[in-house]
Amino acid sequence: MADLNLQEIHDALVSIAHEAGRMILSANPTDIDQGTKLNSVDIVTETDKAVEDLVSSKLRALYPTFAFMGEETYKPGNKIGPEPTFVVDPIDGTTNFVHGFPEACISLGLAVDRRPAVGVVYNPYQDKLYSAVRGRGAFQTVGQVWGLEGGRGRVSRLPLARNPAPLAGLDASLVAVEWGSSRDDANYELKTAVFKRLAAAKPQGGAMVHSLRSLGSAALNLCAVAAGQVDCYWEGGCWVWDVCAGWAILAEAGGIMASGNPGTWEPAIDERKYLAVRGAPSGQKELVQEFWGVIGEGRMDYSS
């Protein structure tokens, strides 16, 4: 890792993200050729594939010795190793993309030693870029492509609050969750039971969170946690390409990533079950413990 120029890699990823963003915006939602993978809500489009083609050919030309893992070319059994690996979701939030709901992004991560080292997440609809290099902080850049601030964009360090408030527990939290694409199994039953317990009033045994949010993109949920706009994000079932870049940004913004199942404080990059908590002067571990308490005895299982 010492001989990798992470900043240079970051800058290359930002430029590729901007180019991919133009491709995403040029697709007319009404003409999107929509296919499905696991079931009718697990959607893939020609644009997902075309963007991944663009990204992988650019990255292979620039960094021919690095490994590459992308959602659209993933084969079951492919594992991410310790070598520098680009981890790419060409469109995260494909469902939003096909509906024209402006919360979709390209998610470009670099993992080294199976840990996120660089993250670039770009929402072209809002010209909003989130990015981080390990050890150098996390940033939000708005309007660079639109030419704001003399073409530099409006740059803010993450989290957005200068002095983030302590975390005061789930009953003071805005919580991001996602429904996922499996709707008929034990994971779905557990998730929906947890959603209900998170929202329910205290006398009913609930945590009475302020509310639940689903941006429809794991990467954008993680960036919202990094920004401090939501307090935590819980999901099971998402893949390494959904989280690698956002995780790099979260960590540089002072956030932590625990497992989405109780008990593991340092989940593997590809563990597929995550609980992200925003940066705060206190209360991070307590929030994780409280959340795990809401999950109770149930466990999500994505081993098959």
Judge whether 92 counts as a catalytic residue.
Answer: yes
Task: Say whether 74 sits in a helix, a strand or coil.
Answer: coil
Q: Which is nearer to Ca ion, 71 or 103 (CB)?
A: 71
Q: How far is the CB of 149 from ligand IPD (least distance, A)?
A: 30
Judge whether 185 counts as a catalytic residue.
Answer: no
Q: Which is nearer to ligand IPD, 84 or 216 (CB)?
A: 216
Q: Which is nearer to ligand IPD, 216 or 255 (CB)?
A: 216
What is the C-alpha separation between 216 and 233, in angstroms, rounded?
Answer: 12
Instruction: For 272-296, give one letter per residue: b (16+ CB within 10 A) or e.
Output: bbbbbbbbbeebbeebbebbbebbe
Interacting stretch for ligand IPD, rule CB under 6 A, among 77-85, 90-98, 112-120, 140-148?
90-98
Sites for ligand IPD among residues 115-154 (CB under 6 A) = none
Interacting stretch for ligand IPD, rule CB under 6 A, among 54-62, 76-84, 198-206, 214-222?
214-222
* Site map (CB under 5 A) of Ca ion, residues 84-123, x = contact: -----x-x--------------------------------
Interaction between residue 71 and Ca ion (CB under 5 A)? yes
Angle formed at CA 156 by CA 150 and CA 158, multiple of 5 degrees: 155
Interacting stretch for ligand IPD, rule CB under 6 A, among 53-61, 91-99, 255-263, 274-282?
91-99
Q: Residue number with the shortest CB distance to Ca ion?
A: 89
Judge whether 270 counts as a catalytic residue.
Answer: no
Tell me which H or E stretch contains 141. Answer: strand 138-142
Residue 167's closest CA among 285, 276, 260?
285
Q: Name the burial class of residue 89, with classes exposed (0-12), middle (13-18) and buried (19+) by CB atoms within 10 angstroms of its CB.
A: buried
Q: Which is nearer to ligand IPD, 54 or 148 (CB)?
A: 54
Q: What count of other Cβ atoms lies within 10 Å of the Cβ of residue 31?
A: 7
Q: What does DSSP assign to residue 296?
A: T
Interacting stretch for ligand IPD, rule CB under 6 A, among 17-25, 108-116, 230-238, 247-255?
230-238
Judge whether 249 counts as a catalytic residue.
Answer: no
Q: Across the strands, what pairs with 259?
A: 274
Interaction between residue 178 and Ca ion (CB under 5 A)? no
Sites for ligand IPD among residues 261-300 (CB under 6 A) = none
Residue 289's identity, in one-letter code, is: Q
Judge whether 36 counts as a catalytic residue.
Answer: no
Interaction between residue 89 and ligand IPD (CB under 6 A)? yes
Catalytic site residue from 9, 91, 256, 269:
91
Sites for ligand IPD among residues 235-254 (CB under 6 A) = 235, 237-238, 242
Instruction: For 210-248, give one letter per residue: b (16+ CB within 10 A) or e.
Output: eeebebbbbbbbbbbbbbbbbbbbbbbbbbbbbbbbbbb
Catalytic site residue from 242, 256, 269, 295:
242
Catalytic site residue from 48, 52, 71, 270:
71
Judge whether 171 counts as a catalytic residue.
Answer: no
Check: CB of residue 176 under 8 Å from CB of residue 221: yes
Tell me the backbone φ, ψ of residue 49, rounded to 5 degrees: -70, -40
Q: Which is nearer to ligand IPD, 6 or 258 (CB)?
A: 258
CA 30 to chain centre: 26
Per CB under 5 A, residues contacting Ca ion are 71, 89, 91
Please give the positions annotated as active site: 71, 89, 91-92, 94, 242
